[in-house]
Amino acid sequence: MNPLSTWYVRFKAFLLQSNGRKGSVKPPILKLSRTYCILAIGAALLISVCIYLNAWLWEEIAVMQTELFRKGLYGSIFLNRFNFFLNWFGLLLLAGAILYGFKMARQASIDARRNEEILQEAKQRTIEIAALYDITQDVSSQHDLSSLLNTIAGKAKTLLAAAGCAIFLYEKEQDDFQIAVESGVGMPIGTRLSRTEGLAGLVAETLQPLIVNDYHNWPNRSKPLRQLPIGATVCVPMVRRGELIGVLGVHEVVGTSRAFTEADARLLSLFADNAAGAVHNARLLDALKNSEERFRIASECASDIVYDWDLAKDSVEFFGAMFRRTWGGDEVLPRTRREFSKMVHHDDRERVRAALRNHFKTGAPYSEEYRIIDGRGACLTIWDRATAIRNQNGDPVRLIGVVSDITERKKAEKMKSDFVSFVSHQLRTPLSGIKWMLELAMNERENSEDVLSFIQDARASTDRLIRLVNDLLDSSRLERGKLEISLQPIDLAGLTKEVLAEISPLIQEKVQVLSAEIPDDLPRITADKQMLRQAILNLISNAMKYTPRGGKIRIAARREDGHLRWEVEDTGIGIPQSDLGKLFEKFYRAENAVAVETEGTGLGLYLVRLIVERFGGKVWCTSEEGVGSTFAFTLPLPIQEA
């Protein structure tokens, strides 16, 4: 309820109570007037009857008494007694009417004085509500927090015609008060006060007004305010919808005789209720301005382009120094998402739209690399990351994102990939020749055992080099999309058994326990058989390599949510949590893996990721160091199988 409406209800109740009409209780003057009327009317009637009997019927009564006396009857005695009784009863009624008349006059005098007091009180309340309305208008029209607090303090001091005023703002994070504004006695602005002591603390605990007319001798004074020349003070809570905003206090200096009253506290409470809402709104606005300023500074300092897409208006605003350097010279800039979408390369456009729709619908992370054509016709490769801001219903209303220009990085990666591909291709032929010559040398009968040992070591090293070159060539071709792929329906269960048959001798050599949970009726998936075989072989070899002798390796496959899931679980050395995020990057090896197995290229898991993603799947790892690891991937099933 609005504070002014609350004041009106309280004022109306005050008038009803002052007039004695609370509930069904009737005012005293009404009872007195009714009794007076009854007595006066009764006295008038009886006196009239007595006069009639005494004057107009006197002669007839005398004749009746003579006749009755002659007959020896005594009825006249009864008539005289009856007449006497009526006369006295009429006089009593008249006396009662006169008495109640005096009482009614006295009550009327009391009511007149009371009505005069009520009238004066009503005039005072009218003046107060007018002043409160004007003050409320002044407070509500301000939005700057600092100016608003100074206005509230000045208006509160004026409202109660006091010497000073202070505002203690409540800081929820620190759970204490801060003296935000003060005038009159020199309180230290910015001082923090405990929530459990002093004027503000007691008001915050009870959420009720507090009047202290002798502050100097009040036992609960705060230490920072103990020596201040405060005489009388009244403090009220500033509350908005049950939330404590602060405490508003008005005070007199030592040496004045003024004492604050309940009426002062009531009026200040009404003002504080309205001021609390204004302070809350100003705080929100101040926080919003600070947030916008931080956002502006961050976007200016960032090396990327920051954008804000208003989904309702379909308008995009770009920020940052990088934006001005990249697109600042364009005469035609995208001002809506639709215009920006037209800049996306036609080969990437549908993929970007699908990723956005998925982010809006499911909340999945949005992070896409794609090409755009700017206003000058240049083709740029960008990395777009964004997060949707949603309303209370969960519907997206804005999209805040960051765009990075990765054109040069992509060029460098392509150059590196081309170089690796070229070098690997050039190395492949001589390495094959070396291997062939080493095989010939192995067959020479004249070689001594030492020479044969050297040749075997050289051959093993050559095999490792050939595998490295092959892995480099495969990864390079996959990255560039130039690896020839032969898509066909594949029986994943049968392919896994083929790989296990090939690698079983190595597993038996390490006395490892192998188990497979692969149903024979798994649906077929569409992929390249040799590439998928390479991915499975890499994962199983990885598990075997980092699992100690006597360890366990479990392989499983199953159908799951329109996908086929394949996984290998081991009881090996495990992987540190800090390495899991980089595990599928090119040339990356975990530190504990390097300690156990010094030989390795860091390309095996990278190739697995490229192969699985090439066929629309996902690969991941869960692990606990010292316990074991689980590598898993999923591949989508054909529509008819899903």
**DSSP of 50-68:** HHIIIIITHHHHHHHHHHH
Give tens-digit pLDDT for 253-307: 988 888 999 988 988 888 888 888 888 888 888 887 777 777 666 656 556 778 8
- pTM of model > 0.75: no
Task: Give 162's contacts (C-beta < 8 A, 6+ positions apart).
Answer: 156, 184, 250, 251, 252, 258
- C-alpha 349/C-alpha 343 separation (Å) is 9
What is the distance between the alpha carbons of residues 260 and 296, in angstroms, rounded to a whole number?
49
Q: Look up residue 510 and give its DSSP letter.
A: T
Mean pLDDT of 117-143: 66
Considering just the CA atoms, what is the radius of gyration of the chain in Å? 50
Q: How confident is the model at residue 520 (pLDDT cuts 50, 70, 90)?
A: confident
Question: Which CATH number describes the domain made up of 410-480?
Answer: 1.10.287.130
pLDDT tens column, 432-441: 667 667 776 7
**Domain pair 142-289 / 487-636, same fold:** no
Crossing angle of the two packed helices 604-614 and 449-480, in degrees rounded to 10: 30
380 contacts: CB under 8 Å, gap ≥ 6: 326, 371, 372, 373, 374, 405, 407
pLDDT at 629: 93
Mean pLDDT of 423-431: 61
Query: Between residues 293 and 209, which one has the greater pLDDT?
Result: 209
Work out whether the CA dihedral 37, 41, 44, 46 comes out positive or negative: negative
Count helices and strands in the chain by DSSP H and E runs = 17, 18
Q: Side-chain half-sphere of 27: how many Cα atoms within 13 Å?
A: 16
The Cα-based distances of 501 to 507, 508, 514, 539 in angstroms read 10, 11, 12, 15
Burial class (CB in 10 A: 0-12, 13-18, 19+), 188: exposed
Distance of CA 396 to the CA centre of its chain: 15
Residue 100 has pLDDT above 70, yes or no: yes
* Residues shown for the chain: 642
Q: What is the pLDDT of residues 354-401, one digit of tens each?
A: 888 888 888 888 888 888 887 677 788 888 889 998 888 888 998 888
Q: Which fold has domain 487-636?
A: Heat Shock Protein 90 (3.30.565)
Hey, what are 96's tokens? 């009662």
Specify which of 82-91, 304-313, 406-415, 516-525 reaches the highest per-range mean pLDDT: 516-525
| Domain ranges within the chain, ordered by starting residue | 3-138, 142-289, 302-405, 410-480, 487-636
| Cα-to-chain-centroid distance, residue 6 | 31
Cα–Cα distance for residue pair 166/185, rounded to 1 Å: 9
CB within 8 A of 46, min separation 6: which ones?
Answer: 86, 89, 90, 93
What whole-number distance in Å separates Cα of residue 419 and Cα of residue 221? 79
Fold of 302-405: Beta-Lactamase (3.30.450)
Q: Which residue has the higher pLDDT, 554 or 445?
A: 554
* E strand or H helix at 278: helix 262-301
Q: Return all residues near 221 (Cβ < 8 A) that are at least 6 apart.
A: 198, 215
573 has pLDDT over 70: yes
Residue 52, pLDDT score: 67
Q: What CATH number does domain 142-289 carry, 3.30.300.30, 3.30.230.30, 3.30.450.40, 2.20.28.160? A: 3.30.450.40
